[in-house]
A = this chain, B = another copy of it.
Amino acid sequence: MTHKATVLGCGLVGATMARDLAWLGEFEVTAADVKVENLRRLAGTASLKTLQTDLSNPARIREVVADADVVLGALPSSLGFATLKAVIETGKSYCDISFMVENPLDLNELAVQNGVTAVVDCGVSPGLSNLIIGHVQTKLDRAEEATIYVGGLPRTRAWPFEYQAPFSPADVIEEYVRPARMRENGRIVVKPALSEPELMIFAEVGTLEAFNTDGLRTLLQTTDIPNMREKTLRYPGHADLMRMFRETGFFDKTPIEVGGGVVRPLDVTSKLLFARWAYQPGEEEFTVLRVIVEGVRGGCRERYVYDLYDKYDRAKGISSMARTTAFPAVIVARMLAQGKIRRTGVTPPELLPREPGVFEHLIEELRERGVTVHEKAERVK
């Protein structure tokens, strides 16, 4: 049976979504983007047509998704919320990885009214990390602690930053500035980004440094786990430099007067870092994700550790960032098209494992794409 899928936004992640869907052989895919050069990369893919259109206009969104069975979103953060709303209004199933500063759950009522399932934040973290936490919750009588460690890093460690980004430095810097919300002993606690650094050893990559960032998002609303935190992983030393930049004002958005003109320090810093942080074609990178969930089952304390290590796919030329972000969304979108997800409303990934088989199906399909999630369960004294 052939379904129709529309992918909104064809940057690195959206293009990977569109191609992966087309390769399945069960979808007619429409890939939409405002940039012709983004669409050009998809030319010649079987079962895939491209559409150049301005997705910042909700009216165009509604037209583009009109005949789709399922819609996927991979848009810049500025368009995420408006697009989510527009797709919900059309009554289409949606699976989205667009970051948005707004709270997607604010649209839950609208989605329920329209009978729509809109899965949001469905990348790697947020995304797979939420799915893992939701899954362990179904096993435990009571989950008491959850910690997410996640990082995307270049294989080559180059002085001074030992970091590169497949997107604008300004988006990374935003994570270094925004205070990190977490839960401790049942209460929301806010700590500075980059705080509480800890060194951790990963078998595939050696020692990394983890520090607080604001990545829990919907988990703070949808779960009552009393201790939850999210930490970003970088090579040791990177966070020190970022703290220095931040505390000295280089990440400030308030304009300052300089040399007769006015400038935002963040804009200058982003511009200078861009030249250092941009990946060159073919440069290898990898993704590390570790999720630790602890809790009680049948009177015993248990700990679940999930580990993912994924690297650049040299054969297909797909970055690990794009793979690990796009694949969970594609797999969930396919389940939506096949009617395998019953829940309606705005659905963060941690709620999906409540439906039997969904989590196992996702892990299996990830494995088929070469993304392997290792589970280790142990009893804690």
A247 to B248, CA, bound (A): 18
Chain B residue with Cβ nearest A250 = B272
**Partner among B160, B243, B259, B273 whose Cβ is within 8 Å of the Cβ of A267:** B259
A271 to B250, CA, bound (A): 10
Q: Say yes or no: B256 contacts A268, CB within 8 Å.
A: yes
A265 to B261, CA, bound (A): 12
A262 CB contacts on chain B under 8 angstroms: 261
Contact of A275 with B by CB under 8 A: yes
A265 CB contacts on chain B under 8 angstroms: 268, 272
Q: Say yes or no: A249 contacts B275, CB within 8 Å.
A: yes
**Partner among B244, B258, B276 whose Cβ is within 8 Å of the Cβ of A263:** B258
Q: Say yes or no: A160 contacts B248, CB within 8 Å.
A: yes
Total residues of chain A contacting the partner, CB 8 A: 24
A264 CB contacts on chain B under 8 angstroms: 258-259
Contact of A241 with B by CB under 8 A: yes
A244 CB contacts on chain B under 8 angstroms: 160, 241
**Partner among B241, B256, B273 whose Cβ is within 8 Å of the Cβ of A271:** B256
Q: A258-B267, A261-B262 are in contact. Are A272 and B247 (CB under 8 A)?
A: no
What 1/0 flags go to A233-264 for Cβ under 8 Å of B?
A: 00000001101100111100000101101111
Q: A263-B268, A265-B272 are in contact. Are A160 and B258 (CB under 8 A)?
A: no
Pull 21 A–B residue pairs with CB atoms less than 8 Å apart, ordered by A: A160-B240, A160-B243, A160-B247, A160-B248, A241-B241, A248-B272, A248-B273, A248-B276, A256-B268, A256-B271, A258-B263, A258-B267, A259-B263, A259-B264, A259-B267, A261-B261, A261-B262, A263-B263, A263-B268, A265-B268, A265-B272
Known A160-B248, A249-B275; further 17 A-B contacts with Cβ < 8 A = A160-B240, A160-B243, A160-B244, A241-B241, A241-B244, A248-B273, A249-B272, A256-B268, A256-B271, A258-B263, A258-B267, A258-B268, A259-B263, A259-B264, A261-B263, A263-B263, A268-B268
